[in-house]
Chains A and B, each alone.
Chain A
Amino acid sequence: MSIIDCKNLSVSYEGKTIVSDVSFSINAGDYLCILGENGSGKTTLMKTLLGLKKPDKGQVLFGDGCSVGKSADASCKRVHKIGYLPQQTNFQKDFPATVMEIVLSGTLNGKAFKPFYTKEDKKKALSAMESLGISDLKKASYMELSGGQQQRVLLARALCSTQDILFLDEPVAGLDPKVTLDMYEIIRTLNEIGITIVMISHDIEAALEYSNHVLHLNKDMDFFGTTEEYRHTELCEHYLCHIPGHLHHDDNCEICNEQEHLLGHTHAHMHDHDCEICEEEAHEAEVMAAGQEENHV
């Protein structure tokens, strides 16, 4: 059964269309990766799904009949609770708060008004921190943590607010390779215990490895389907060839060739006398060297 149904969604920002005519559905237990280049509307789409932006056209239906439509009705009690890992804003990085304070704030999701946290809330926060291996940081200050630890804290907060569906906006942005791998493994584990994952990513290799559905966005929807299907599309091959060292290099692909050409410039031995750009560069270097000599004289 689908828990999110997105129909003909179009979103604009200050009159410019960012996302147009996107339709897809997410089933419980899915691991959906939203791929696309910078400015292709990935974050905007996610914000619309979350009800942070209003769509111009189309609608987002949640499995329980609530919609994020023209009027985001908070009165509709959602069965499926949402957890969200946003891209970090700059000011959060020096926000004076402890890990516990931040993780606890996730438990406020959809709760009837109670002024203070209950014992259960605290238990929930502690177990979320434990599952992400950060319980020893409980009293640490958020601003003094490393990037990877901060991401884990925000993920623990998201876990406190849901056991149903997690929206992750570039969860590995700015993390080093090892921490990135750890993060992906954590997300995989969460998916395995039944949490639906919707993740924005630049990292197509990780998407192919971990996700089971892919949405490729380029303002309008270029592809939606299972990861297996996506693997065989031209879109995917094309995208993959841009990763240096990848085997999928295609001589007929314009962008691939261009990239190879650019790579050539970084290595002196690959200099090509028939290539205009190479020659021009060499000439410029000569002129500069001559200029410097003149200065010395």
Chain B
Amino acid sequence: MFRVIAEIFFYPFMVRAIVCGILISLCAAVMGVSLVLKRYSMIGDGLSHVGFGALAVATAFNWAPMAVSIPVVIIAAFFLLRLNENTRIKGDAAIALISTGALAIGILVVSLTTGVNIDIYNYMFGSILAIDKENLWLSVILCVVVIVLFVLFYNRIFAVTFDENFAKATQMRSGIYNMLIALLTAVTIVLGMRLMGALLISALIIFPALSSMRVFKNYKKVTICAAILAVVCFVIGIFLSYIIATPVGATVVVINIIAFIIFYIVGKLKK
């Protein structure tokens, strides 16, 4: 067992993936609590599809993948929030529109240019090799920025999540905090996508939050528990994926499912 662990740390790409993955799990979990409670869970899913589209187009034209996808996903996040406020197209329909639209465009561009190659496959299902040296620093810095902003605005994010109308009526600029939530979510998703896969990244946002809500009835505890749970699940998942040679994204999600079941049972027993 210890030999396997030592072996893992021998590979620089594994160390990079572990460092990055832990930070991304943290970001995703803390944003997830707010998103799930605001009934925005599917935004994560929608944005990851947009991210896939952007990555695919960037690959096809040989552009820097991160430099293209981060701004595109941020714009999509703002757009989704705007649509959500619009009563004519309901939020869930808006997300479905944008996510399938982006996916279709991405696939179309890919098939017209390079064809579905290993890169595209990795974007969809994630790859442990995705984090190279230059990406590592970008990811670490952005993750730290997301976590710092979340901590600084924690009380305000809580207020906007619990009761947006009250926040607005009492002169809080809830629009700005909604944007902040969208922005932080967008950055988290793009960063996590390459490791976890576009189709799986939203699990990282939703599962830890839902699991810890089974057990805790206190916002701060829910947030902290979600953060710890996300990191633990990720670490177990990545080690397991190395040992039994499975894709890291899917393994981490399966560990999260198991954690959810355990928390669900604990929550039932607590009552």
Q: CB-CB < 8 A to B90: which residues of A? A: none
Closest to A100 in B: B218
Complex Cα spacing A96 to B158, Å: 11
Chain B residues 155-170 with CB under 8 Å of chain A are: 155-156, 158-159, 162-163, 165-170
User: What are the interface flags for A84-121 relative to B under an 8 Å C-beta threshold, 1 for contact and 0 otherwise?
Assistant: 10100101100111100110111011100001110000
Residue in B87, B151, B155, B216 whose CB lies within 8 Å of A105: B155
User: Is A92 a contact of B163 with CB atoms below 8 Å?
Assistant: yes
Q: CB-CB < 8 A to B158: which residues of A? A: 97, 101, 105
Q: CB-CB < 8 A to A117: which residues of B? A: 155
User: Is A96 a contact of B219 with CB atoms below 8 Å?
Assistant: yes
Minimum C-beta distance from B266 to chain A (A): 15
Complex Cα spacing A91 to B220, Å: 18
User: Is A157 a contact of B218 with CB atoms below 8 Å?
Assistant: no
A257 part of interface (Cβ distance < 8 Å): no
User: Is B168 a contact of A101 with CB atoms below 8 Å?
Assistant: no
A161 part of interface (Cβ distance < 8 Å): yes
Q: Give the one of B167, B173, B219 with max A CB within 10 A.
A: B219
User: Is A109 a contact of B171 with CB atoms below 8 Å?
Assistant: yes
User: Is A144 a contact of B217 with CB atoms below 8 Å?
Assistant: yes
User: Is B159 a contact of A105 with CB atoms below 8 Å?
Assistant: yes
Q: How many residues of B contact A (CB 8 A)?
A: 29
A231 part of interface (Cβ distance < 8 Å): no
Q: How many residues of A contact B (CB 8 A)?
A: 39
B153 part of interface (Cβ distance < 8 Å): yes
User: Is B169 a contact of A50 with CB atoms below 8 Å?
Assistant: yes
Complex Cα spacing A98 to B216, Å: 10
User: Is A115 a contact of B39 with CB atoms below 8 Å?
Assistant: no
A78 part of interface (Cβ distance < 8 Å): yes
Q: CB-CB < 8 A to B87: which residues of A? A: 14
Q: CB-CB < 8 A to A96: which residues of B? A: 37, 213, 216-219, 222
Query: Given A14-B87, A105-B158 in contact, is the A86-B218 Cβ separation under 8 Å?
Result: no
Query: Given A98-B218, A101-B218, A141-B217 in contact, is the A84-B171 Cβ separation under 8 Å?
Result: no
Closest to A162 in B: B170
A51 part of interface (Cβ distance < 8 Å): yes
Query: Given A96-B219, A108-B156 in contact, is the A51-B151 Cβ separation under 8 Å?
Result: no
User: What are the interface flags for A161-189 relative to B under an 8 Å C-beta threshold, 1 for contact and 0 otherwise?
Assistant: 11000010000000000000000000000
User: Is B222 a contact of A91 with CB atoms below 8 Å?
Assistant: no
User: Is B170 a contact of A108 with CB atoms below 8 Å?
Assistant: yes
Q: CB-CB < 8 A to B159: which residues of A? A: 105, 108
Q: CB-CB < 8 A to A167: which residues of B? A: 169
Q: A-contacting residues of B (Cβ < 8 Å)?
A: 37, 39, 87, 151-156, 158-159, 162-163, 165-173, 213, 216-220, 222
Q: 9 closest Cβ contacts across the A-B interface? A: A141-B217, A109-B170, A50-B169, A97-B219, A105-B159, A84-B169, A115-B152, A161-B170, A96-B217
| Apart from the given pairs A98-B217, A110-B170, 8 other A-B contacts in the complex at a CB distance below 8 Å | A81-B171, A84-B165, A84-B170, A86-B169, A89-B163, A91-B39, A96-B218, A101-B220
Interchain Cβ contacts under 8 Å between A and B, 30 examples: A50-B169, A51-B168, A52-B168, A52-B169, A74-B173, A82-B169, A91-B37, A92-B163, A96-B37, A97-B158, A97-B162, A97-B218, A98-B219, A101-B220, A105-B155, A105-B159, A105-B163, A105-B166, A106-B166, A108-B155, A108-B167, A108-B170, A108-B172, A109-B171, A110-B170, A117-B155, A141-B218, A142-B217, A143-B217, A157-B166
